[in-house]
Amino acid sequence: MRRVALAGLAILLVLIALLLLPGREEEQQAIRVGVVPTLDALPFFIAEAEGLFEKHGIKANVTVYASARDMDVAFQAGLVDVGIYDMIRIGISVDKGANIKVAGLLLGELPEDGIFAMVAPPGFAGKPRTIAISKNTIVEFVSSQLIPAIGLRPGEFELVDVPPITTRFEMVMGGKVDAAILPDPWWRLAVERGARVIIDDSMLGRPITVTVIGVRGELATPELVAKLRRALNEALELYKRNPQKYRELIEKKIYVPEELKGKWLPSWKGSIKDYPRDNFELVSAWLLEKGLVSKPLKYEEVVMVLDK
């Protein structure tokens, strides 16, 4: 009789242990994640490959969109719950009435992560007078920070609107403009082909070009955001310990120019945490000055704060 009681107790303890295991299927919150094939998506791809979303209680369906614009359209259509954004897109969307919350800083806690650079064509040595950008985007915001830092004043240069990265890259490499603002790894490819870096945002001494995690407002609970951050930060820790392990995944999932394959891996030394107020205010002031938002954005209304 005692053996039966002990066996029953053992079974009960096993059942309790199973109930307490994190990430049980019935406890997992389903979310639809939208990413684009850029280095910002790195922790999402690693978390998906390593089963970290499930480990932290999330059932994530990750969809790769060809461009940020495509992903924004999918969000507006109700097809994306969580996505990769910059604060330019978030600010404009919020001003238009979108219910979206900033659930954390993604890439850019440290200035050396996720660098944008202003590059000049091979052989060009003077100050740039024509600079290719993409207007009303993070690229133009970056240019607003980099251009004064190289001593150019209004009236001494012309901004040329060239939205596609590939076209911007080809124009600067062909000498059709004096400079172009390019993200990583495009500016590295330009340097590989003989271009010169005039300045990059890491030289400004503070994070400028950060990206953030956007979550659909009705789903943006502290519980979900905490789980999501834990999964993504664990993915980043795995990457930092052994970047080479993920080279094949990166070159499959993230756009890496052929010339840089086997040579380049993303730099990501920071972590995912609360989006800082100082960067929010810098971006918000620029959006208002440009007339891209109708009124000042309020940090407390847009940004979720979990780190106490």
104 and 123 assigned to the same domain: no
Query: Mean pLDDT, to the nearest integer, of 239-257?
Result: 95
The phi and psi torsions of 2 (rounded to 5 degrees) equal -65, -40
**Sequence-distant (≥ 6) Cβ neighbours of residue 11 within 8 angstroms:** none
Would you state the pLDDT for residue 78?
92
Report pLDDT digits (tens) over 293-305: 999 999 999 999 9
Distance, CA of 164 to CA of 141 (rounded, Å): 16
Q: What is the reported pTM?
A: 0.87
- Looking at the structure, do residues 44 and 170 belong to the same domain, yes or no? no
Label residue 269 by pLDDT band (50, 70, 90).
Answer: very high
Domain finish residue from 204, 233, 254: 204
Give yes or no for a contact between 202 and 116, defined as CB atoms under 8 angstroms apart.
no
Question: What pLDDT does residue 114 have?
Answer: 86
Residue 83 CA to residue 61 CA, distance in Å, equals 11
- Give every CB contact of residue 224 below 8 A, 6+ residues apart in sequence: 29, 31, 58, 215
- pLDDT, tens digit (0-9, with 9 covering 90-100), for 110-124: 988 989 999 999 999
Q: Based on the domain organization, do 90 and 141 belong to the same domain?
A: no
Q: Please indicate, yes or no, if residue 35 is contained in any of the structural domains.
A: yes
Q: Which domain holds residue 49?
A: 26-109+210-302
